[in-house]
Structure 1
Amino acid sequence: MPIRHSIIHKIDKKPDGSPAVLHVSGTELAESQVTENLLHDLNEAYNAKTGKGWGLFHAESGAYPFSGWLRAYVDGGDFIEFSRVAVEHLTKLMEESNLSVGGHVLFAHYQQGMTDYLVIALLQHSEGITVGADLSDTPSKHLDFGNINLAARINISEWRSNPKSRQYVSYLKGSKGRKATDYFRDFIGCQEGVDGPGETRTLLKAFSDFVTAEDLHEDSAREKTQALVSYSMAQAKIGEPITLDELSELIDEDQPKMFADFIRGKDYGLSATIPADKKTLNKFRRFTGRIDGLSISFEQHLLGSKIEFDEAGGTLTLRSLPTQLTDQLKRAVACVIDDRIEAHNS
């Protein structure tokens, strides 16, 4: 993961209402294993966070100047100057929001594969204990990557090469409340472009429809479900979106375009790349079974809502049946009644 530039500034903001004090660094972080470990740990913590937002920049304006500063830097500007102007703007917004959350602000421009990224994160310290060479214990502070609530990652390559993209910025929605998230999102100048959980749910719905349409055997359905979940979770782990064509190839190596063509042939409204929402994926699992002409297949999240399982009686109770199935059952029951009436009259 080559790091092109990285720097840390500090914002002192106390809960007593006193003005924030900005400490600007004039030196980039040195190229070292420590810096690489810092960025690696940050990315792992960021990728592990659930509840991310995905979007794009607002049009550059006085209210949203960040994209203009970033463009000037990417076009050959000075990284330290870019980070200084940006962190001053962040401090101003922090003051206006009357929040008491300060910390160290990391700016890092790095390359992963062929893609350039910029990550910005507000990092907090946590207290710890270290043992010295003389075996004495000493208080110490370290960056708390498990407590990141304000951070964003910009896919610079996609932003510059694909103007129509609506998901080149990801950001944490955080647990500090909507006000904190909003001021940080305003700092980035980002608007929500894609509903990650909604897109993931739609993808899973499309997959369920695909399994039903193809009338897959339960073993095949289970295998394809595992392929979908494993790939999607792996993408979420590295902070990359689900690519529909890649997923389609994994689901069926013999017919690699089959699932992708199924989705494109229906009105699901999914794009070629889909943000992977881990929380939604964690809830997805299919239960399948087949015996004596009876085939049952449903998703885990339906258990307890539309489907009730009576373990003692060995029965399933289904609610909200599909209209098509209900119509078929009505016709079948009507035929049975007619046959009984005819048999009785004869």
Structure 2
Amino acid sequence: MNVSATNIILHSLNYNSEGVLKCKMREGELPISPSIEQLVMDLHRSYQSKSNKAFAYFANEGEKSQLFQRALTEELNGELDFVGFSQQAAGRFVDELKEHDFAEEGVLLVSKYTWTTSDYLLIALLQNNQSISVNENLELQVSQHIETSKIQLVARIDLTLLKRDPEANRYISFIKGRVGRKVSDFFLDFMGAKEGFDAKVQNEGLLKAVEEFCEKQELPTEQKQAVREVTSNYCKEQLKEGEDIDLSALSEEFQSTSDLEGSFYDFVSEDYQLEENFPADRTLMRKLTKYVGTGGGMNISFDQKHLGSSIKYDEASDTLTIQGIPPNLREQLKRDALIDSGELVITETILDDGKAPF
């Protein structure tokens, strides 16, 4: 599915000779061209692939906090043109960078585009990097390029959801950023928003619901694993397509691939505080089909289906036995004379809850 860009403008953020961050404002929109469409598509795909997103909504608290929302409302109502809106947004962006002491330079992109049936506003600070290439005369030349795959300071507003349901708590989304950087605070202050919908909590609730649904069904180990794999595959496909998890669709997946009694959707609707739709968390989804443990200098991960067959756990001795070691690991161990057979016994397994191996 392609995106269709409707508006786009760039502003430049740089420090002057006095060390003050300034914004050079562009006075007109960029004309929509195939290269512009490709840029917006690349940014959209990069943003969709990010799993560390936070969701928010306009807080409507205080005069300063409403500056961005007021400008956006005026633009959407035709009272302010897109250029004027982008310039006001750029001014707020710079003010908040200074307030939060983020030493950031780059190209500020403000764009409106359509994808599937929704309209979006994207605001992203892009890095304008240099690259060296060889021209047809075999001479070195330096050129500038924008890195679209490593965006960090970026936020998006679902304009269609905002219009359809102003009381929703998830029409604003942004990338949380690296540990130690208060990116959430920055975007919440910049847009005058409050953090609302928590995708991680939703995903944790889904994992819990799947496990308890299997227990209620009294499924044998093999069938329980099959349900987990159906969930994992569905969530991976949704991540790949940039789509949310749909509980009704997931329930239908269960019915079509497993011989289950009752509806998973009905089961979830009774006792779980889950939204009808929410984005998948790639890291949490791994727990559906894998055991993962880290600690004491060890990092162990394996598919759950191997437990009880090629991998055995003895709780009494806290021992994990692996038969059929991966060839590349075996070669490393044999090279260092640690083993001389195809069996490895690990006697210091890290336990998260005292009951499971990982």
User: Into which bin does the TM-score normalised by the smaller protein fall?
Assistant: 0.7 to 0.9
1:37: which partner in 2? 38
Cα pair distance change 1:219/1:282, threshold 3 Å: same
CA distance in 2 between partners of 1:243 and 1:4 (Å)? 29
Taking structure 2 as the reference length, what is the TM-score of the superposition?
Answer: 0.76
Q: SS of 1:128's equivalent?
A: strand
Q: Deviations over 1:79-126 (max 9, x none)?
A: 111111111111122223333202111111111111111111010122
Instruction: Check the 8 A contact 2:217/2:261 in 1, yes or no.
Output: no
Q: SS of 2:196's equivalent?
A: strand
Q: SS of 2:104's equivalent?
A: coil
Cα pair distance change 1:63/1:288, threshold 3 Å: same
1:6: which partner in 2? 8
Matched, 1:189 2:192: yes
Cα pair distance change 1:290/1:33, threshold 3 Å: closer
Instruction: Output the amino acid matched with 1:224.
Output: V
CA distance in 1 between partners of 2:94 and 2:346 (Å)? 62
Alignment of 1:301-340 (within 5 A): 309-311=320-322
CA distance in 2 between partners of 1:303 and 1:145 (Å)? 48
Instruction: Output the amino acid matched with 2:321.
Output: D
Instruction: Check the 8 A contact 1:45/1:146 in 2, yes or no.
Output: yes
Matched, 1:148 2:151: yes
2:267: which partner in 1? 262
Cα displacement (A) at 1:314: 11
CA distance in 1 between partners of 2:350 and 2:129 (Å)? 51
Cα displacement (A) at 1:235: 2.7
CA distance in 1 between partners of 2:117 and 2:149 (Å)? 28
1:276: which partner in 2? 280
Instruction: Output the amino acid matched with 2:194.
Output: Q
Instruction: Check the 8 A contact 1:90/1:187 in 2, yes or no.
Output: yes
Q: Which has the larger radius of gyration?
A: 1
Instruction: Check the 8 A contact 2:228/2:288 in 1, yes or no.
Output: no
2:289 aligns with one of 275, 285, 288? 285
Q: SS of 1:119's equivalent?
A: strand
Alignment of 1:73-92 (within 5 A): 73-77=75-79, 78-92=81-95
CA distance in 1 between partners of 2:184 and 2:18 (Å)? 20
Question: How many correspondences in the alignment?
Answer: 309
Instruction: Output the amino acid matched with 1:272.
Output: E
Q: Deviations over 1:35-82 (max 9, x none)?
A: 111111112222222321112121164222212221221122411111
Structure 2 residue ranges without an equivalent (≥5): 291-303, 323-343
2:181 aligns with one of 178, 181, 185? 178
Cα pair distance change 1:75/1:13, threshold 3 Å: same
Alignment of 1:53-132 (within 5 A): 53-59=54-60, 61-64=62-65, 65-77=67-79, 78-132=81-135
Cα displacement (A) at 1:33: 1.2
Q: SS of 1:70's equivalent?
A: helix
Matched, 1:160 2:171: no
Taking structure 1 as the reference length, what is the TM-score of the superposition?
Answer: 0.78
CA distance in 2 between partners of 1:135 and 1:221 (Å)? 62
Instruction: Output the amino acid matched with 1:37.
Output: Q
CA distance in 1 between partners of 2:180 and 2:350 (Å)? 40
Cα displacement (A) at 1:238: 4.3
Cα displacement (A) at 1:226: 2.7
1:28: which partner in 2? 29
CA distance in 2 between partners of 1:215 and 1:234 (Å)? 28
Instruction: Check the 8 A contact 1:243/1:273 in 2, yes or no.
Output: yes
Instruction: Check the 8 A contact 1:248/1:257 in 2, yes or no.
Output: no
Cα displacement (A) at 1:264: 0.9
CA distance in 1 between partners of 2:152 and 2:163 (Å)? 27
